[in-house]
Structure 1
Amino acid sequence: MENFIEFDLLWQQIQATSLLEWIAVGFGVTEVLLARKINVLLYPAGIVGILCSSFLLIDAKLYAETLLHGYYLVMSIYGWAMWKNRSASGAGQISKSTIHDQKITWSIALGGWVFLYFALKYFTDSDVPILDAFVSATAWAGMWLLAKRKLENWIWLNVSNLVAIPLLFHKQLILVSFLTLFLFVVAIFGYLDWKKELENRDAKFRTI
């Protein structure tokens, strides 16, 4: 009986989901599916989703995630330009992170976490500064790697997703939390697809 009541409450919350949240979710799904297929159109789809999600996050007082979406917007424009430029020049294929890339990635993640935590703790009314900051900082790192077409971007994005799922659910953003769960699953397959692509290219290169 208790489980039925919980499911009924969940269903009511889904039914009460705003049109803006549905739009954000739709474009979020489109973005990650295009990313898995290594399609540059992931960026314009992502930009629409980012703009919609930002309004929802501000209303939920998830300020670090709102700031994260601002970073997403900048990185989406940057990544879009990088991917189109590299496609034209025949460069910018999928690759693994170098030691230098890893140092930058960890600097973004750890530095971002500390900075965002103190900003949220002392300058906002956020009630989840540690988790909000962590989700955003690890996603920052993942988006930087995605723009560089580095395989490890999927790992960092999924670390962010893993913490974001219960956080969004706690904030009553039910549909967005389900979207994030979906993104988590797709990111696993995205990693495997990119890894296979990389291995096939390396095997072909060795036979030449």
Structure 2
Amino acid sequence: MHMEFLSQLTLLQWLGTIFGVLQVLLARQNNIHNYLFGMVAILISIWVLYQSQLYADIVLNLYYLAMSIYGWFYWKSGKQKKEAPISYSSQKEHKIAVGIVLGCFVLMAYWLGQHTDSDVPYWDAVVCAFAWAGMWLMAKRKIENWIYLNISNLISVPLLIYKELYIYAGLTAFLFAVAVSGYIKWKKIIAQKRDKTYAGA
């Protein structure tokens, strides 16, 4: 029975991984449909993470789901009722992102340490905190999202290996590489737009 349960978790990890890979590749291409694949991956991940007692990651995935819905609409219309462009974060947005990291870490660490049976409360909390800020920046279409998400990825890989979620650990390592590539690609898109603006001036 235990082996059958583990095989089901492994199958779900593979399925979630496929949707997760498609999501991040579409995000790298600046394609709005990344959110549809992301939502499916998130729902699968929530079930797998629940079985592995990674509760902060479940809360993080629920947040991902909400931010994916928000991001879908923001990418489509933005504040000006037209497609929001890729851009660098303002000083205010940088401060908000750092605030999200600190606030999320404190809340998650307290909740996990005091109110759950998690054996990795601080480790899980810091992964959650950086990803939380990164997803907010992604929804706002800010290039710095890749930096915050990659800090989370870097810390998450050994945590997933510790929890024996090897497929998700491999996915996260892959996401780290894609995020580096995504940052470079988004930077080129911003530069190309700037060049066109100067040329048209």
Same-fold call, TM cutoff 0.5: yes
1:29 aligns with 2:21: yes
Equivalent AA in structure 1 for residue 69 of structure 2: I
Q: 2: distance between equivalents of 1:41 and 1:88?
A: 21
The equivalent position to 1:60 in structure 2, one of 35, 52, 56, is 52
Indicate the SS of the match to 1:26. helix
Name 1:10's counterpart in structure 2.
Answer: none
Unaligned runs of 5+ in 2: 1-5
For residue 27 of structure 1, give the secondary structure of its aligned residue in structure 2.
Answer: helix
- Identical pairs, percent: 47
Gaps spanning 5+ residues in structure 1: where? 1-13
Distance 1:34 1:48 in 2: 14
> Which residue number in structure 1 is paired with residue 3 of structure 2?
none
Q: Could you report, residue by residue, the CA deviation over 1:134-177 in whole angstroms, capped at 9, with x for unpaired residues?
A: 00110000000000000000000000000000100110000000
Query: What is the match of residue 180 of structure 1?
Result: 172
Residues 1:125 and 2:114 are matched in the alignment = no
Equivalent residue in structure 1 for 2:107, among 112, 115, 138: 115
The answer to whether the 8 Å contact 2:75/2:83 transfers is: no
- What is the TM-score when the length of structure 1 is the normalising length? 0.90
Q: Equivalent residues in 2 for 1:43-58 (5 A)?
A: 43-58=35-50
1:162 aligned partner, one-letter code: L
Task: Please identify, of 89-98 and 68-77, the stretch whose mean Cα deviation from structure 2 is larger.
Answer: 89-98
What one-letter code is carried by the residue in structure 2 that aligns with 1:165?
Answer: V
Q: Which amino acid aligns with 2:17?
A: V
Q: d(CA) in 2 for partners of 1:34 and 1:86?
A: 19
Q: CA RMSD in A?
A: 1.7
Contact 1:36-1:190 within 8 A present in 2 as well: yes
Match for residue 135 of structure 1?
127
Does the 8 Å contact 2:10/2:167 carry over to 1? no
